[in-house]
Structure 1
């Protein structure tokens, strides 16, 4: 059975995203995708939601 992990961050810079990716993949999670929430007044995202998956251990 597949289980999901969602990590939310308001620090949307390369080092912060890299840290999250490296942390969770080292724990056995597989990157599913990254979704950005945009701010109206800026071209930079205000938040990111990073989703991971892995098989549930029996």
Structure 2
């Protein structure tokens, strides 16, 4: 069995994404991917969804 974590952010900058990655991997989650939601009038993403997985702990 696998647990999934999705972290949504509307602040799509390198610093914001690095903070999310560093925070959740330090908590034992493994980075699994990233998806972006685009704006029609801009080439810059409006939102990002950072995906993580982990095996559930035995105590959970």
**Both structures adopt the same fold (TM-score exceeding 0.5):** yes
Higher strand share: 1
Report the equivalent of 1:12: 12
Taking structure 2 as the reference length, what is the TM-score of the superposition? 0.94
Shift of 1:41: 0.4
Q: Which consecutive residues of structure 2, in runs of 5 or more, have no partner in the other structure?
A: none
Cα distance in 2 for residues equivalent to 1:25 and 1:57: 15
* Aligned counterparts, 1:1-58, within 5 A: 1-58=1-58
Taking structure 1 as the reference length, what is the TM-score of the superposition? 0.98
> How many equivalent residue pairs?
58
Shift of 1:57: 1.0
